[in-house]
Structure formats: structure tokens, C-alpha cells
């Protein structure tokens, strides 16, 4: 009897091959299973899996319109995850981060946050994917995220109480359309905060819409599941109904929906109380699939949290199975205390759901730190490809001239990496700057913001290399003769100037990106002029680099300093004219003044680098260059003299008068 029942159950739920709905569900679960493989990092199979997924999807679209809706739901769901992460990133360092830090700075607070948020949203799956977004955006730590997941499992029990006691359920999909409308409108705003809110709202809207479509796709299949047909006593019934609970929750993407089925079946007497408990355990395990789907579009931190969610729910399920008799006894005792009728199995189910989730949290809570360490090993942080020195090595310590040349070349290596940040910070490409294209025309035509993580490029290509150069120079200065120490000190200063230039560009990149696309032609003109000055200097340094040593004129780099002083709109009165004429706002003027300071530092630092690296090796010529080189006072004096009218011009003007 048991054997026939189990065979009937597995065949009926997993196959239903004669039913179109069953076939749709089978293909849907197969596709979802293939998608889930990605989270485990099976890199060897990825080349094979992707074509297989495409073939299965194409076949599914061909044979079933319902499958299209299921697949579209998964896609929309993942797209919503991407929007959520983008939105949360906009608030890094802002209000959201402060709120999260205050509410998750201790583990018990994280658990409480999970309980409250899940109670409000009535979806532990949604809280899980939101937490993955928080973690992927760097707003919370992994231990805090795990605490939220623990709390979410307790919070989800409130849904069981609502279903069993009141028959109510919050339908989050009803809010999808308004969220999408308001969210997309805000995404197109210029304000970073409003744009961030827009991404979050749109992400939630897509998330809800995706879940809605997944549920709609399986709605017909849900109606074909007759739980009464699989009712059976004993451990086999427990195991089978746990599998049914897992499968139903995976299919419907909602443990709440599964609980509705369970409660209905209980009320109709279709299944036994023991079978209902097993279904609840299975539903708790099955709800992790949503977090796994959410982690697929997240970074390594999101994958860690999804794995933690799976570990916790599997452990909780194992505890519930192992101590099912004791928990049933506890349910009866509590029900008697609070006045729940002996035959009110729906409310007893809610009590059981609460007990085994609370027990799971109590058991897992002390092991969170160990779980974090295990997950960090299982999902290591991707190794960032940090740039290594190409020219400096300890073998050069015995040869001072070779050592200086190696540091000189390494400085150029550092400069090349910095140019990537400087050029992209100006929203320009190095190929354009180094080409024969007219820079003024190129700048006018280039109005698109280049998407690049400047901080990551700086950390991996500039900061690491600069540290290696400093360490090498520190060791070399103790071994070099005094005659070479001054040159080495100059090259060290050049490296510092290069690094400072990258930091200065990062400071005013936001304003450059904003005002180069401004509708105000006056502010746009000023920022285009700033971009042009830096681009011309970069081109000049590149051209000097490609010249024979005897043709290099490092003093010509001082021309860029003179040009800056002559075109400095603060000194030549242009800024006052723009403000008094109402051509730019006070906010624009403040930004412009600050960014002119950054521009000046960049020009001074890069010209110093050019002089240090391309200086002639002939001692007499080098001394002559140093005598002829202009310092800051010389440049200011020359620029003011050239701006003032000559004596002859003044006399001619007086005579005319």
C-alpha cells in the first residue's frame, strides 16, 4: 500500500506527462534547475550549459505558451535584482547605509530587522533577495545578512497565522505597476538620490511582476495537484510530503501559497495533520529557491548569503524531521495553553511552523561566525588582477645608473595606468587623445559618460604599483651614492604627482559628467576648456615620449602652466562677468572654482612628471634646463605681464585721447 502510494505520488506530481500543465511544469523545473547550477560556480560546465539552456527555452516556447510566461517571470525577476542593486548603490554612505548600520550593527538587531521586515512585507523570499541586494551593494556585512535571514524565517510564520486565523494574504504583485511607473520616472531625474529611489522602486516593481508571472504560469498546474490522493501514514508519508512541499513552493515561488493549499486540504479533511506538518517543512526548504535565483545576478557576497539561506533552511528542516514527535507534543501543549481547539489543525499548523523556525534560529545562532568563515572559503572573493612592477627589481641595486633607468621606466608604467583613470575621468578615450584627431572637435562630440569603476582601477593598477615603487626607492636610497639620491627623490615626487592627479580627477569627474551635458552653454564651455587643457597635455607628453632623446624639450611643458594661468577665469575676470551677467548660477560658480583648483594641480603634477622622466641624461644640459625652468612665481609673473597692455600701447591710447 505504501509502495503504491509513493509511486503514485512521485509519478503524479513530477511527471503528469499526459497533461500539458504537467509537461510545462517539468520543463519549467528543468530550466530553473539549470539556471541554479550557476550559483555553485560550475565553470567547467558553463560552456555546455548555456547552449543547452537556450535549446530547452526555445523548445519550451514552441510547445507551451504557459512556459513563456514562466521563463519571462524568471527573467523579469532577475532584471529587478539588477535594478535593486543599482539603486542601493546610489545610497552608499547616505541615509540607507546609516539606517541599515544602526539596525544591523549587532546580530540580535539583524534578526529583529528580519522579523519586522518580513512581517510587514509578508514574504521571506522578498526579504531574502533584498538582503542579497544590500550585501552585494556593500551596505551590510555577511554576518548581518545571515542575521536578517534568520529573522526572516521567524517573520514568515506570521503569514501562516494570517492564513490559518484570518485567511488573509498581502498580494505584493498588486503594487508592481505603480512602482514601475513612479520608479522609471525617477530614474530619468538628474539627482543622484532621486535616481537611486527610482532604481529601487523599479527593481521592486520588476521583482513583484516577475513573481506574479511565475505564479500565473503555474496557476493551472497548481489546480491539478490533489493532495488527498497522496495521503499516507508513517515515515514514508513524511518524506514524500516534504518533497511535495518543496516542489510546490519551487513551482509557485511562495511558501504562503503552499500554506494556503495545506490549510485548505486540512479544512477539507483531504490530508492528515502529520502530512500537513511535512508539507510545511518542505515549503520552508523550497522557499530558498527564490534567494538562489536572486543570487544569480549578484556578486560573490550574494552567493554566500543564498548559500547561508539554503544551509539554514535545510538544517531547520532536518531538525524538524528528527524531532517531529517532540514538536507535535509541544504544539499540543502550547495549543492547550492558549485555547486553540484540539481539532483546529489549521492554527496548530501555524504553531508548529513557528516552533520549528524559532528552534532553528536558536540552534543556528551560535554558529553564525563559523558559517561565515566556511562560506568565505566556499565562495572566495574573486582575485583582483593587481598590476605588478615590470622594471624594478633587486638585481639593479648594484648598478646605480641601471637602477635609475628602471625607476624611470616604472614611473612611466605608473603614468600609463594613471592615464586610463584621467582620460576616462574626462569621459574621453586614450586612443582619441593620442591620435591625430583635433581635440577641440573630439571634445565637443564626446558627450557620453563613460561607465567605469575608477576606484577599482585605481586600487588595482595605480595604488599597488605606487606602493611597490615607494618600497623599492626606500631600499635603494640606502644603497645608492649621494649623487644619485637626488634624481631618485625627484622620480619619487613624480610618482606621487601622478597618483595625486588620479585622485584629483576622481574629485571633479562628477561635475565634468554633469556640466559637459548641461543645457547651459556657458558652463559647458568652461568644462570643455578644462577637458581640452588636460587632453592636450596628455597628448604632448605622449608625443615627447616617442621623440628621440636629443629632440625632447622638457621646458616646453611649462607652456601648459602658462596657458592655465592666462586662461584662469578667476584671475582674468571672466568668472565675475559670468556671475554678474546671470549666465551661470552661484552653485555652478562654486563648482567651477573648486574644479579649477583640481585642474591646476593636475597640470602641475603631470608636467613635473614629464620633466623628471624625460629629462636629459647629460649633466650639463640638465643643469641648464633646471636654470631655465620656470617656478610658480615666474609663471604667475609672466602671465600677468602678458595680460597687461604694453607701455607703447598705453602711450598710443593716451595720444589718441
Distance CA 259, CA 339 (A): 22
What residue segments make up the domains of the chain, in order of their start? 2-378, 395-643
Distance CA 47, CA 54 (A): 12
Poorest-pLDDT segment among 20-24, 46-50, 332-336, 371-375: 20-24
Joined together, the cell numbers standing for residue 590 give: 562654486
For residues 172 and 126, the answer to whether their CB atoms sit within 8 Å is yes
> pLDDT tens-digit profile of 399-438?
677 778 888 888 999 999 999 999 998 999 888 899 888 9
Question: Distance from CA of residue 126 to its chain's centroid?
Answer: 18
- For residues 525 and 70, the model is more confident at 525
Please determine, for residue 43, whether its predicted confidence score (pLDDT) is greater than 50. no
Distance CA 643, CA 568 (A): 12
Distance CA 259, CA 159 (A): 9
Please determine, for residue 47, whether its predicted confidence score (pLDDT) is greater than 70. no
Please determine, for residue 37, whether its predicted confidence score (pLDDT) is greater than 80. no
Count of Cβ atoms closer than 10 Å to residue 153 Cβ? 28
> pLDDT tens-digit profile of 382-402?
665 667 888 887 766 666 777
Distance CA 234, CA 229 (A): 16
Poorest-pLDDT segment among 76-80, 115-119, 218-222, 565-569: 218-222
Please determine, for residue 167, whether its predicted confidence score (pLDDT) is greater than 80. no
pLDDT confidence tier of residue 61, bands split at 50, 70 and 90: confident
Distance CA 374, CA 380 (A): 10
> pLDDT tens-digit profile of 230-267?
656 667 767 777 887 787 776 655 665 566 566 666 66
Joined together, the cell numbers standing for residue 71 give: 521563463
What's the confidence (pLDDT) of residue 422? Answer: 93
Please determine, for residue 630, whether its predicted confidence score (pLDDT) is greater than 60. no
Residue range 210-224: mean pLDDT, rounded: 60
Residue range 130-146: mean pLDDT, rounded: 72
Please determine, for residue 26, whether its predicted confidence score (pLDDT) is greater than 50. no
What's the confidence (pLDDT) of residue 395? Answer: 64
Please determine, for residue 550, whether its predicted confidence score (pLDDT) is greater than 60. yes
Poorest-pLDDT segment among 88-97, 176-185, 205-214: 88-97
> pLDDT tens-digit profile of 520-541?
999 999 999 999 999 999 999 9
What's the confidence (pLDDT) of residue 232? Answer: 63
Residue range 326-339: mean pLDDT, rounded: 82
pLDDT confidence tier of residue 23, bands split at 50, 70 and 90: very low
Distance CA 85, CA 78 (A): 11
DSSP letters for 386-448: ----SS--GGGGG-HHHHHHHHHHHHHHHHHHHHHHHHHHTT--HHHHHSSS-HHHHHHH--S
Residue range 286-299: mean pLDDT, rounded: 65
Q: What angle do CA 341, 344, 348 make, to 5 degrees?
A: 95
- For residues 171 and 177, the model is more confident at 177
- For residues 390 and 609, the model is more confident at 609
For residue 166, give the DSSP letter: I
Distant-in-sequence contacts of 39-43, Cβ < 8 A, 24+ apart:
39/292, 39/295, 39/296, 39/303, 39/306, 39/307, 41/303, 41/379
Please determine, for residue 567, whether its predicted confidence score (pLDDT) is greater than 60. yes
492-509 CB burial, b ≥16 within 10 A, e <16 = bebbbbbbbbbbbbbbbb
Distance CA 247, CA 245 (A): 5
Distant-in-sequence contacts of 360-366, Cβ < 8 A, 24+ apart:
360/153, 360/312, 360/313, 360/315, 360/316, 360/319, 360/320, 361/111, 361/150, 361/151, 361/153, 361/154, 363/315, 363/316, 363/319, 364/150, 364/312, 364/315, 364/316, 365/107, 365/111, 365/150
What's the confidence (pLDDT) of residue 137? Answer: 57
- Among residues of the chain, what percentage have pLDDT more than 90? 16
The label of the residue with cell 644603497 reads 479
- For residues 635 and 238, the model is more confident at 238
pLDDT confidence tier of residue 39, bands split at 50, 70 and 90: very low
What's the confidence (pLDDT) of residue 419? Answer: 93
Joined together, the cell numbers standing for residue 301 give: 557576497
pLDDT confidence tier of residue 19, bands split at 50, 70 and 90: very low
Distance CA 207, CA 294 (A): 10
In order of 106, 129, 350, the CA distances from 149 in angstroms are 14, 10, 20
How many helices and strands, by DSSP H and E, does the chain display? 32, 0
| Average confidence score pLDDT of the chain | 74
What's the confidence (pLDDT) of residue 631? Answer: 55
Please determine, for residue 500, whether its predicted confidence score (pLDDT) is greater than 80. yes
What's the confidence (pLDDT) of residue 108? Answer: 86
Total residue count of the chain as it appears in this document: 657
Amino acid at each position: 500500500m505504501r509502495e503504491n502510494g509513493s509511486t503514485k505520488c512521485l509519478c503524479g506530481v513530477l511527471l503528469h506527462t499526459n497533461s500539458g500543465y504537467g509537461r510545462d511544469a517539468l520543463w519549467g523545473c528543468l530550466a530553473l534547475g539549470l539556471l541554479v547550477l550557476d550559483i555553485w560556480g560550475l565553470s567547467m560546465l558553463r560552456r555546455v550549459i548555456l547552449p543547452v539552456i537556450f535549446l530547452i527555452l526555445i523548445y519550451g516556447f514552441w510547445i507551451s505558451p504557459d512556459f513563456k510566461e514562466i521563463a519571462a517571470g524568471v527573467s523579469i525577476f532577475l532584471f529587478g535584482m539588477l535594478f535593486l542593486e543599482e539603486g542601493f548603490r546610489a545610497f552608499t554612505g547616505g541615509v540607507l547605509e546609516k539606517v541599515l548600520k544602526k539596525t544591523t550593527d549587532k546580530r540580535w538587531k539583524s534578526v529583529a530587522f528580519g522579523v519586522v521586515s518580513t512581517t510587514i512585507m509578508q514574504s521571506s523570499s522578498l526579504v531574502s533577495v533584498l538582503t542579497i541586494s544590500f550585501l552585494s551593494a556593500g551596505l551590510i556585512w555577511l554576518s548581518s545578512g545571515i542575521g536578517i535571514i534568520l529573522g526572516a524565517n521567524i517573520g514568515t510564520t506570521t503569514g501562516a497565522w494570517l492564513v490559518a486565523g484570518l485567511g488573509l494574504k498581502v498580494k505584493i504583485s498588486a503594487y508592481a505597476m505603480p512602482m514601475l511607473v513612479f520608479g522609471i520616472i525617477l530614474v530619468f531625474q538628474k539627482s543622484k538620490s532621486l535616481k537611486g529611489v527610482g532604481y529601487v522602486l523599479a527593481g521592486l516593481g520588476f521583482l513583484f511582476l516577475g513573481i506574479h508571472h511565475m505564479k500565473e504560469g503555474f496557476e493551472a498546474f497548481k489546480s491539478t495537484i490533489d493532495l488527498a490522493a497522496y495521503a499516507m501514514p508513517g515515515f514514508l508519508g513524511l518524506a514524500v510530503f516534504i518533497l511535495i512541499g518543496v516542489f510546490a513552493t519551487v513551482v509557485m515561488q511562495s511558501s504562503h501559497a503552499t500554506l494556503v493549499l495545506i490549510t485548505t486540504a486540512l479544512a477539507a479533511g483531504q490530508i492528515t495533520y502529520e502530512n500537513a506538518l511535512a508539507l510545511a517543512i518542505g515549503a520552508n526548504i523550497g522557499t530558498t529557491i527564490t534567494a538562489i535565483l536572486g543570487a544569480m545576478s549578484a556578486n560573490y557576497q550574494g552567493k554566500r548569503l543564498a548559500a547561508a539561506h539554503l544551509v539554514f533552511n535545510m538544517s531547520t528542516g532536518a531538525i524538524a524531521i528528527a524531532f517531529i514527535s517532540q514538536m507535535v507534543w509541544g504544539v499540543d501543549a502550547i495549543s492547550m495553553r492558549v485555547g486553540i481547539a484540539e481539532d483546529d489543525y489549521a492554527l496548530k499548523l501555524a504553531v508548529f511552523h513557528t516552533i520549528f523556525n524559532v528552534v532553528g534560529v536558536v540552534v543556528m545562532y551560535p554558529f553564525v561566525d563559523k558559517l561565515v568563515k566556511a562560506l568565505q572559503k566556499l565562495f572566495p572573493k574573486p582575485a583582483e588582477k593587481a598590476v605588478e612592477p615590470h622594471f624594478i627589481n633587486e638585481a639593479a641595486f648594484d648598478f646605480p645608473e641601471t637602477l635609475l633607468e628602471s625607476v624611470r621606466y616604472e614611473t612611466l608604467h605608473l603614468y600609463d595606468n594613471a592615464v586610463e583613470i584621467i582620460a576616462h575621468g574626462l569621459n574621453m578615450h586614450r586612443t582619441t587623445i593620442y591620435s591625430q584627431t583635433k581635440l577641440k572637435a573630439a571634445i565637443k562630440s564626446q558627450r557620453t559618460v563613460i561607465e567605469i569603476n575608477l576606484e577599482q582601477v585605481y586600487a588595482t593598477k595605480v595604488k599597488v604599483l605606487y606602493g611597490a615603487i615607494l618600497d623599492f626607492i626606500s631600499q635603494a636610497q640606502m644603497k645608492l651614492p649621494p649623487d644619485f639620491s637626488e634624481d631618485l627623490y625627484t622620480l619619487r615626487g613624480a610618482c606621487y604627482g601622478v597618483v595625486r592627479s588620479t585622485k584629483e580627477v576622481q574629485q571633479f569627474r562628477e561635475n565634468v559628467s554633469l556640466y559637459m551635458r548641461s543645457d547651459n552653454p556657458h558652463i559647458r564651455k568652461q568644462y570643455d576648456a578644462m577637458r581640452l587643457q588636460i587632453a592636450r597635455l596628455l597628448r604632448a607628453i605622449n608625443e615627447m615620449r616617442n621623440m628621440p632623446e636629443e629632440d625632447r624639450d622638457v621646458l616646453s611643458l611649462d607652456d601648459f602652466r602658462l596657458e592655465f594661468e592666462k586662461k584662469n577665469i578667476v584671475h582674468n575676470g571672466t568668472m565675475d562677468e559670468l556671475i554678474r551677467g546671470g549666465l551661470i548660477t552661484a552653485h555652478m560658480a562654486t563648482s567651477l572654482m573648486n574644479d579649477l583648483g583640481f585642474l591646476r594641480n593636475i597640470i602641475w603634477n603631470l608636467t613635473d612628471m614629464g620633466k623628471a622622466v624625460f629629462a636629459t641624461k647629460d649633466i650639463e644640459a640638465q643643469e641648464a634646463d633646471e636654470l631655465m625652468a620656470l617656478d610658480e612665481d615666474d609663471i604667475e609673473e609672466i602671465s600677468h605681464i602678458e595680460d597687461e597692455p604694453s607701455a607703447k600701447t598705453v602711450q598710443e591710447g593716451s595720444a589718441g585721447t
